Structure formats: structure tokens, C-alpha cells
Amino acid sequence: MFLTVFFLLVALCTQGGNGKESEEAQRPGHVSVVIVGGTGDLAKKYLWQGFFQLYINQVSSGNTFSFYGGGQSPTEKATPVLFEILKAVSCSKDVSQERCALLKDQFLRLAQYRQLKSLEDYQDLAKHIEQQLQEEGMTEAGRLFYLSVPAFAYADIAEKINSSCRPKSGAWLRVVLEKPFGHDYRSAQVLASQLRSSLTEEEMYRIDHYLGKQVVSKILPFRIQNKKLLDPIWNKHHIERVEIVLKETLDVKGRIAFYDQYGVVRDVLQNHLTEVMTLLTMRLPKNVSRSEEVLGNKLQILSSMLPLGKNQAVIGQYQTYKAEVQQELNKTKDHVSHTPTFAAVLAQIDDAQYEDMPILLISGKMLDERVGYARILFKNDIFCVQNHNNVHCKPKQIVFYFGHGSLQYPAILVSKNLFKPALVDSEWKEVTEHKDVNVFGLPISDFYIQTPMEQKEAYAELISHIFFGRKNSFISTENLLASWDLWTPLLSSLASTFPRIYPGGADNADLLDIHLKGKDISYNNEVVIISTDQLGGTSTNGFQVMQGKFRSSEMVSAWAEQLVDKLAADIQEAAEAAIYEGGVFHLALSGGSTPLALFHRLVDHHFTFPWRNTHVWMVDERCVLPTELESNFRSLHDHLLQHVRIPYYNIHPMPVHLNQRLCVEEDGGAQMYEKQLIKLVNSSSFHFVLLGVGYDGHTASLFPGGKVDELGDSLVALTESPSKPHQRMSLTFNVINRARKVALLVMGKGKHELITQLSRVKDNPDKWPVTGVKPTNGNLVWYIDYDALIG
């Protein structure tokens, strides 16, 4: 017969089925705890330890317990696994070794493994519980099922519990569900409907372990304890912004099968960070222990959120994620995942108290440190004229520090120039001795700090709440659907968005820094990181990662339209600077289709461009008549020159057609263009040269195998192309590399393989002519769009 230990001291028991903590002393009873998935990772790490802690705390309450680890494996196979897990549970420091050993022995005697696969298995479990109750003459208090299984199994298991494992009238039933609770609004709605057919709302406990973290659980008590001081400043007039941040240093290896379907927004922002946001902004309840009021006030906030769209989010993906997906999901090398591993979202509340107040929700993998916090940064209207280190001029902030980071322990921090807060409860203490630690760039001594006297694990705290039927730390169906209603439109808009690639760790530098403008958010730096060593390697240490660098030169990267905007602005800036300095701007433009979008941008938007003082030169030309469509000059004329007010004598086409023939050496066209260039361009140094790159690595009309080193000191030369028309005229590296600024424009997915190759190869102008672009005293900037950069 299965052994049950009785403890006969009377204490509070919970009321059956209504989800509220009992206010009256109840007769003690027997509680059956069933962890479905009882030998899984979550159960091993947290759940059994949490239930052991519950057992220790309730051991003298008059309640008795049975613990069941359930799973699909046969009993003879899984029983040894379960007991290895149970042997690893431990007691808190305040429990003596002798007492701990006794409690642990009793706990193990009260536990057993049961196969829970079919309906018959659940029926057998119910018969076993009822037989045990009858044989030992026990009154049943309730049954607690913890579903530590994939979400797709919830509805089926709930149906089995409902049909076969419900306790008799007078005892409660509580079923705990782990996230994810759906993938979007529709799937969450379907799952909620399925569960509702088997369980009542009061019986379901959707757990978010973040709500069990000690600091998170004290956000409301802190606001209530300090209400008089906070009420005047807890609004848009005094709060500059709210930051809710969870940073992690680890990757997601081993979790790819799950993570690639969900990503960081679904995994962290939609639940953990959203819950923290509601705690910070909800109307304070009259009674914090009243679940209905707390959940209702949270719902009001969720219903007042402004819609989230593409302009309210930026996303990123750490550089080795693609390779991890290919390996773990057995995908081909050309498979690309859009799943973000980093996200920053700007949320705002349509409410008079918080209108236009930025709320940032940020989380990511492979970041510089492991830390979690909610930070309320207040506006400071004091300006110190001389002593900027005066405490009054330092940032005013309240920080709910969840743990880890530089502080290494959970705490609530309040700037000393704000107010001294009351302790949240008797189990917390004020920290008066400070280590040499900085938080947000400030010494820890600038803050009033309070921290729990004893650190407790989140799951243990929430398991205690479940036992007592306290639902204010759990997610109701209504609140869940309201949250998904907020996040689903954003997820849909991001589905086809390429995340920004970042290398991971300290190498991210300021790549993920964000910029807020009104209700929109964007990356502060439009430059993208790319490997200059071995793109697609397996570890961050294998990369020579440089922000804004490609092949050791500057790089600008953006979506095509923004990239062209940036290039056009840079050209105008260079033109204005050159004219200010010397009265003239010499611009050399390459042929081909790549610069056409740039030409249109200059025509349609840059009405103040100084064309009257600009000389336009050709980088290269095909040896065809200038009237033919293949002519680079014809393209330049049709798409740019005829639409701007540039003097005709400032236009310098290459003389490929002389003596009624094309590109004949004896006609001296190349020498003619060179003399014109030497005469008009000071030191033969163009102010700006725009180049493209062909699929074979050629630039200008300098092709692989063209033996560019044999062109001598010439500035202009006749060259041979492998494709028709074969004859070309081109500037040489001798003059290109004298330019003050050279821009290499690369656009389109078709150029991705080229960019990958160029990121790996060494300088070899004969094989890869573009690697010969090396301005002597000027700057080289690569302008690469996202399609070319990430494919």
C-alpha cells in the first residue's frame, strides 16, 4: 500500500473551486499533486524543488500529500529517472541537516511515477487516489495537475482530467498550464475554447514564472507602500520613459525546434515583459490580494494600448543563428530564417495619465550581459551650472532589478535625489553597505536599495500561490487574449522582415542601439555588421567583426530605398563641401543599371543640388554609339542629365566614337580623355567617384584577367570585357585611387554570393578587380543594401 504521512496540526486550507484564498480555517485534507511531464527538463530544474518547498512549508499544517510524476514512458523505465531527480531536491538554509534528511525521506516515500498516456491511465490514477483516500480514511482537499508538456497536448490532457480525474464535490481541482499559450490571437482563442470545454476559468492557472520573481511580485506592494510619494510623479508629466529589459548572453542551441517557431517577441515580450508593464502602469487595486480586481486593472491597461505596427519595433538575429537552424532542423545552406533573437518595441498607452510616454520592451539572446530590470526614468528639471556631480543633477530613477547583471541580486533601487522609499514588507531589508558597483553608469551609493532577506525561486513562490488558490499572479483567459490582440498585428507585419544581423556579446558594440522619434522606433545606426573573415562561421570568436566595416573600409547598409537616399545625401554633402572649398565639384559616375535609382533620387528630391558648379565625368563606357541603348552615356543622359540644370560644357562623355569608328587605339580616345581630365581636375583627383561591382568582381570596366598592372601610369585605358560589347573605355586605378571619396554601390539579392566571396578573399586585383580600389589619401565607402548583404 502506498504510504501517506499525516501531520495533525490544524492550519488554513483552501476553498474548493473558486480560486480565492479561504478566509476561514478549514478542516485539513489530502492533496494529490500530479506533474504531467514529471521527468522533463522543467520538472527536473524547478518543479520538484518547488513542490518539495511547498511540502516543507505545509508539513505541519494538517494537510497530507501524494506526489505523482506522470509521463508517456513505461513505469519500469521512468521510475529510476524520477527518483534520481527527487534525490537532488534540497532544503533552505534555515532547515537543519537532520530535519532536511527526514523531510526528504518522507517526500520520496510520498512520490511515485505513473504512466499517463491513455484515458485508461488517467482512470487508473483516479481509482488509485480514491482507493488511497478510502483505505486511509482521509478527507480530500484537492487535486493539483501541473501540465509540463507541449501546449498542443493541453486540450487532450484537460479532457482526460475532466472525464476521469475530477475530485468529488467539496474538493478543488487546479490545473497549471505552462506557456506558450498559443502562437497568435487566433491559436490562443482556439486553445482557450478547447480548454473551456473541460475546465472552468477558476480551475486553470496559466503560469508566467516572471510573476513569481521576488522583485516583480513586489512592484504593486512597492507602489502601494509609497503611494503618497509616487502619485504626484507617476505620470507623463514627470516620467521620461519606462524601460523593461531582459538581456541574455546564451544562444538557443538545443532549443531551435521550439525557438524558430516563436522567436523573442513570442517567447519574452508578449508575456514576461508585457506582464511587468501592466504591473507598472495599472491602476492600483484597493486590495492587492483580490484576484478579480488585479486582473481587471491589468486588462484595462492592455485594452488601452496603442496598436503596435512595423514602425514600433526593430528586430535582430545573432550571426550564428542561421547555421544553428540549418544544423538542428536539417535545413540546406540556402535556408534563411527570419526569426528574431533580439527585439526592441516602443509601446504607448492611450490614457490621460500616460499619453505619449515611451515604454520600451527589449529582450535578446547573445547580448553583452545577463540582466533583467524595469527602469522608470524621471525627467530632471534641475541644471547644475558648475558641479555636474551634484546629486540633484544625476538621473532620477526607480529600478526594479530582477537579478544578475552588475548587482548580482534582486533589489529595488530608488535614486537618493527622488525620495527614500518605505520597505515593501517585513521580509525585505535595506542595503546599507555597498560594493564598488555601478548601475546604469552610477555608483550604487547613489541609490536607496532594498532586497529580500532570503532569495526564493520563482516557481516555488508560484506553486505556493497555486496551493492557496491565489490567482492574481496568473494569466486569465481574457487577459491572455487581450495580450495576443495587441501583439498579433505586429508579429504579422514583421513576418517577412529581415532582422538585423549582430555578432553577439561585446562585439555588438552600439549596433543594436535604438532611436525614438515620436511614436516610432528605429536603429540609431543604419550601418550593419558583417564578417570580414569567414561569413557564416560557428562562433563569434571566429569573426573579425567591425561595426560599419567591410574589407577594412567603411560600410553603410540599409534597405534599398533608404540606402539610395543616404548615398544621394552623401553626394550632395560632398558637392557642397567641394564647392565651398574650391568653387567646383568633380563627380565620376559608373554605368550599368545599379545607379539608376540614385539618378532618379537626385532628380526628384535634390532640387538644391549645385549642378551649375558640378562637372560630370564617366567612369567607363561601352564602345557603342552614344545614341544606342547600351551606351552608358545614353543611360546617364536619359535618367539624370536631361532632367537637371547642368551646363553642357560641364558634361564629359568618353570619346569612344572618333573618325567614324569605335575605340580604335590609333585614334587616341583614351589619351584625349586623360588630357581633358588632367587639365580640368586638380591633381587628377575627383571629389567623388561612384563605382559598381559586377558578378565577377569587376569594377568600372576593369575585368578579371585584364592585367590591370600592365596599364602603367595611364589614367584612362581601352579594356576588353568578356561579354558583348567587348570593347570598353575605362578609368584606371591610377585615377580612381586618387579620388577624395570612392563609393562602391552593391544592390540586390543576386549580389549576395559576391558579397560573401568578397568578405573572404584577400586583395587580388587580377582575379577580383574591385579589391584594387584603394584610395591613397581618400576614403572608400561600401554602400550595400540588405538584399545583397544577407540574401
Of 7-16, 152-161, 523-532, highest mean pLDDT: 152-161
Spatial distance between the Cα atoms of 314 and 767, rounded to a whole number of angstroms: 39
Is residue 17 scored above 80 in pLDDT?
A: no
| Residue of 312, 309, 302 whose CA lies nearest to 281 | 302
The pLDDT value recorded for residue 533 is 36
Q: What value does the mean pLDDT take over residues 189-215?
A: 95
Give the three-state DSSP class for 167.
coil
% of the chain beyond a pLDDT of 70: 94
What type of residue sits at position 275?
E
Least confident of 44-48, 411-415, 551-555: 551-555
The pLDDT value recorded for residue 284 is 95
Peptide bond into 221 cis (omega under 30): no
Count Cα atoms within 13 angstroms, Cβ side, for 78. Answer: 19
Q: Active site residue: 30, 272, 465, 687, which one?
A: 272
Q: How, if at all, do strands 727-731 and 716-720 pair?
A: antiparallel
Is residue 639 annotated as part of the catalytic site, yes or no?
no
Grid cell for residue 529: 555588421
The pLDDT value recorded for residue 643 is 94
Is residue 12 scored above 70 in pLDDT?
A: no
The pLDDT value recorded for residue 415 is 95
Is residue 551 scored above 60 in pLDDT?
A: yes
Is residue 15 scored above 80 in pLDDT?
A: no
Phi/psi at 559 (nearest 5 deg)? -65, 155
The pLDDT value recorded for residue 510 is 86
Is residue 24 scored above 60 in pLDDT?
A: no
Q: Which residues contact 689 (CB under 8 A, 6 or more apart)?
A: 587, 588, 619, 731, 736, 739, 741, 742, 743
Least confident of 136-150, 328-342, 542-556: 542-556
The pLDDT value recorded for residue 178 is 92
Give the three-state DSSP class for 193.
helix
Phi/psi at 615 (nearest 5 deg)? -105, 125
% of the chain beyond a pLDDT of 90: 73
The pLDDT value recorded for residue 662 is 94
- Mean pLDDT of all residues belonging to the chain: 89
717 DSSP β-pair partners: 730
Give the three-state DSSP class for 551.
coil
Which pLDDT band, with edges at 50, 70 and 90, does 507 fall under?
confident
Grid cell for residue 546: 567591425
Which pLDDT band, with edges at 50, 70 and 90, does 526 fall under?
low
Peptide bond into 655 cis (omega under 30): no
Is residue 221 scored above 70 in pLDDT?
A: yes
Grid cell for residue 448: 536607496
Is residue 279 scored above 50 in pLDDT?
A: yes
CB 506 within 8 A of CB 514: no
* Model pLDDT for residues 53-65, shown as the tens digit of each residue: 999 999 888 889 9
Is residue 40 scored above 90 in pLDDT?
A: yes
Q: What value does the mean pLDDT take over residues 719-743?
A: 93
Is residue 618 scored above 90 in pLDDT?
A: yes
Q: Which residues in 25-76 belong to E strands, given as ranges? A: 30-36, 64-71
Spatial distance between the Cα atoms of 417 and 411, rounded to a whole number of angstroms: 18
Measuring CA to CA, how many Å separate 426 from each of 223, 414, 420? 16, 18, 17
Spatial distance between the Cα atoms of 249 and 375, rounded to a whole number of angstroms: 20
Grid cell for residue 77: 523505465
Q: Which residues contact 597 (CB under 8 A, 6 or more apart)?
A: 560, 561, 564, 747
The pLDDT value recorded for residue 690 is 97
Q: What value does the mean pLDDT take over residues 565-584?
A: 95
The pLDDT value recorded for residue 281 is 97
Q: Give kind and range of the element (H or E) at residue 205.
A: strand 204-207
The pLDDT value recorded for residue 546 is 32
CB 246 within 8 A of CB 273: yes
Least confident of 304-318, 341-355, 528-542, 664-678: 528-542
Residue corresponding to grid cell 527527487: 86
Count Cα atoms within 13 angstroms, Cβ side, for 420. Answer: 3
| Residue of 157, 251, 145, 250 whose CA lies nearest to 203 | 145
Spatial distance between the Cα atoms of 768 and 783, rounded to a whole number of angstroms: 18
The pLDDT value recorded for residue 27 is 53
Spatial distance between the Cα atoms of 161 and 601, rounded to a whole number of angstroms: 65
Give the three-state DSSP class for 648.
helix
Spatial distance between the Cα atoms of 426 and 452, rounded to a whole number of angstroms: 9
Q: What value does the mean pLDDT take over residues 658-669?
A: 93
Is residue 340 scored above 90 in pLDDT?
A: yes
Spatial distance between the Cα atoms of 757 and 714, rounded to a whole number of angstroms: 30
Q: Is the pTM of this model over 0.75?
A: no
Q: Give kind and range of the element (H or E) at residue 402.
A: strand 396-404
Spatial distance between the Cα atoms of 366 and 369, rounded to a whole number of angstroms: 8
Q: How many CB atoms lie within 10 A of CB 198?
A: 20
Grid cell for residue 770: 574591385
CB 361 within 8 A of CB 342: no
Q: What value does the mean pLDDT take over residues 379-403?
A: 86
The pLDDT value recorded for residue 61 is 85
Least confident of 11-25, 167-181, 277-291, 705-719: 11-25
Least confident of 311-325, 495-509, 598-612, 664-678: 495-509
Which pLDDT band, with edges at 50, 70 and 90, does 495 fall under?
confident
Grid cell for residue 773: 580600389
Phi/psi at 40 (nearest 5 deg)? -80, 180
Measuring CA to CA, how many Å separate 253 from each of 151, 250, 321, 564? 21, 9, 9, 37
Spatial distance between the Cα atoms of 17 and 174, rounded to a whole number of angstroms: 8
